[in-house]
Amino acid sequence: MSDTYLLEVKKLTKTFPGTVALDEIDFCLRKGEVHAIVGENGAGKSTLMKILSGAYTRDSGTILFDGEPVDINSVEVARNIGVSMIYQEIEDVPTVTVAENIFLGRLPRSKIPGFLNFKELFDATNKILHEYNVEIKPQRKISTLTTGERQFIEIIRAVVVKNAKIVIMDEPTSSLTKSEVEKLFSIVGELRKKGISVIYISHRLDEVMGIADRVSVFRDGKNRGTLEKHELDPDKVVSLMIGHVLKRVEKKPSERKKVVFEVKKLSVRNRVVDFGMKVYEGEILGIAGLMGSGKDELVESIFGLWPAQYKETYFFREKINIKSPVDALRYGIVYLPEERKSKALFLEMTVNDNVVPQWLFYVKKSLFPKRKREVDVTEYYVKRLSIKTPSVFTKVADLSGGNQQKTILSRLMAVKPKMLVLNDPTRGVDVGSKEEIYSVISALSDEGIPLLILSSEIPEICKLANRVIVLSKGKICAEFVDNDVTTENVIRAAIGI
């Protein structure tokens, strides 16, 4: 059983100008297994998936499906074989219902020409949603669903309408809530039961350990090893992934002498109640809290992205009024939002233009007088954050997901901010690069720049912050400093123990 593969990739190579994305890679997939792929940013994970789903074509190498060679040279060929890739930015039609979206291309017609048989459609949809334990009404419009719910619909559609035998998920949980992640796992389990194979790419080793039957580790375009479930061990995976030992960042004690930023009397309807907070020079302040604790509304209301009923904001003791992140930028306060890929990157522009974009000039006119200086700045960050790119003049669209994230971070740092607010700074970034980002964050705080950090991972906050405030029901319910900043303390406080 174990040596009959549904899919076999042998010595597959794919190059882009200046980059060998896949270097004679081998990869095998069993029927009905959940096969996770992990690896550093730029290792070639997404590229292999794009080849399997027909979006890219390979330069050389063999692909066997059910033991027979197949030439996947278009999306149609991939679809006919039964390969379905679930994209993050789902190309569904937002104004149609869940039911129509699932059955698009296979809608039941009514007896009256030109009309749909809605009863049949909704019944069939209910049945299938029920099978996957997804509680969404078939009548709902796609536009009213969360990102997670849209993904579930897309997976179900792949299986039901496209008859997928292999479902590929490339970092599916990066914009899901905790409960949506659990739901996704249960859907994945359902697929496995039905004998459908799942290829699951993720940077979150904890997820991978929980869900995968096997794990392959990619590095520099090669498969460095496929581990069976019983061989899975985080240290082993990490060492295969980065090929060296991680360097850890040291924390320094918090001084809390000079207040740089202060918010007072902040109230957000039904979410945040008379909130106050000081941020000190050189400190890394973590804000933690469960979903619904008000932490996201809190930060967004500070930046004018969420309406506050009342707030007072002070920066270097001067009263300021921040109505948008652009206002904040004028004071040198830089905000990295959660939803950044779509909003913060200029995909068609080069790495250099993304790190040092022209529009920054109005913030500080003499920032980078010459082109040469710009390129120096970009090259510095490319090196500092190990951004994998053939040159600083490569289009950002051509970088891997994690390297795009690092490009945004570089820009924030290149502005020479007076304060940084980072929402999930290492999302989609591999373990090695996480450490590099942590080291830049700690270097900024050494220069006296205060940083505010929110993260979906409490251990990450605790690793970096010298002080953490914990929110519950829109109020600070606990505060920890220096040695008391531990994952255990923060989680206990967040859940109310």
Ligand X SMILES: Nc1ncnc2c1ncn2[C@@H]1O[C@H](COP(=O)(O)OP(=O)(O)OP(=O)(O)O)[C@@H](O)[C@H]1O
Residue 400 vs 466, nearer CB to Mg ion? 400
44 binds, among ligand X, Mg ion, none (CB under 5 to 8 A by kind): ligand X
Query: Does the footprint of ligand X cover residue 400 (CB under 6 A)?
Result: yes
In angstroms, rounded to a whole number, what is the distance separating the alpha carbons of residues 489 and 114? 62
Q: From the list 34, 47, 271, 485, which residue makes contact with ligand X (rule: CB under 6 A)?
A: 47
Residue 202 vs 301, nearer CB to Mg ion? 202
Site string for ligand X, 322-361 (x = CB under 6 A): ----------------------------------------
Query: Does the footprint of ligand X cover residue 172 (CB under 6 A)?
Result: no
SS (H, E, C) 100-153: HHHHCCCCCECCCCCCECHHHHHHHHHHHHHHCCCCCCCCCEHHHCCHHHHHHH
Residue 226 has phi, psi (to 5 degrees) of: -115, 120
Residue 183 has phi, psi (to 5 degrees) of: -60, -45
In angstroms, rounded to a whole number, what is the distance separating the alpha carbons of residues 141 and 60? 44
Query: Does the footprint of ligand X cover residue 169 (CB under 6 A)?
Result: no
The separation between CA 194 and the C-alpha centre of its own chain, rounded to angstroms, equals 28
Query: Does the footprint of ligand X cover residue 388 (CB under 6 A)?
Result: yes
Token look-up 């930028």 returns 329
In angstroms, rounded to a whole number, what is the distance separating the alpha carbons of residues 316 and 228? 56
Pick the stretch among 113-121, 292-300, 396-404, 437-445 that binds ligand X (CB under 6 A). Answer: 396-404
Which tokens go with 474? 């829109």
463 binds, among Mg ion, ligand X, none (CB under 5 to 8 A by kind): none
Which tokens go with 21? 């994305």
What percentage of the chain's residues is helix, strand, coil (to nearest 5)?
35, 25, 40
Site string for Mg ion, 14-53 (x = CB under 5 A): --------------------------------x-------
Q: Which residue spans within 42-130 are E strands per DSSP?
A: 60-65, 68-69, 83-86
Which tokens go with 327? 């206002």
Residue 114 has phi, psi (to 5 degrees) of: 85, -5
In angstroms, give the least distance from the CB of 47 to Mg ion: 8
In the three-class reduction of DSSP (H, G, I as helix; E, B as strand; rest coil), residue 417 is classed as coil
Q: From the list 43, 102, 188, 392, which residue makes contact with ligand X (rule: CB under 6 A)?
A: 43
Pick the stretch among 79-87, 89-97, 143-151, 395-403 that binds ligand X (CB under 6 A). Answer: 395-403
Query: Does the footprint of ligand X cover residue 402 (CB under 6 A)?
Result: yes
The separation between CA 392 and the C-alpha centre of its own chain, rounded to angstroms, equals 23
Residue 29 vs 334, nearer CB to Mg ion? 29
9 binds, among ligand X, Mg ion, none (CB under 5 to 8 A by kind): none
Query: Does the footprint of ligand X cover residue 393 (CB under 6 A)?
Result: no
Pick the stretch among 14-22, 249-257, 274-282, 326-334 that binds ligand X (CB under 6 A). Answer: 14-22
Residues 481 and 284 sit within 8 Å (Cβ to Cβ): no
In the three-class reduction of DSSP (H, G, I as helix; E, B as strand; rest coil), residue 69 is classed as strand
What's the half-sphere exposure (Cβ side, CA atoms, 13 Å) at 354?
A: 29
Query: Does the footprint of ligand X cover residue 39 (CB under 6 A)?
Result: yes
In the three-class reduction of DSSP (H, G, I as helix; E, B as strand; rest coil), residue 171 is classed as coil
Residue 44 vs 148, nearer CB to ligand X? 44
Site string for Mg ion, 385-424 (x = CB under 5 A): ---------------xx-----------------------
Q: Which residues bind ligand X (CB under 6 A)?
A: 16, 19, 21, 39, 41-47, 388, 398-403, 430
Q: Which residues bind Mg ion (CB under 5 A)?
A: 46, 400-401
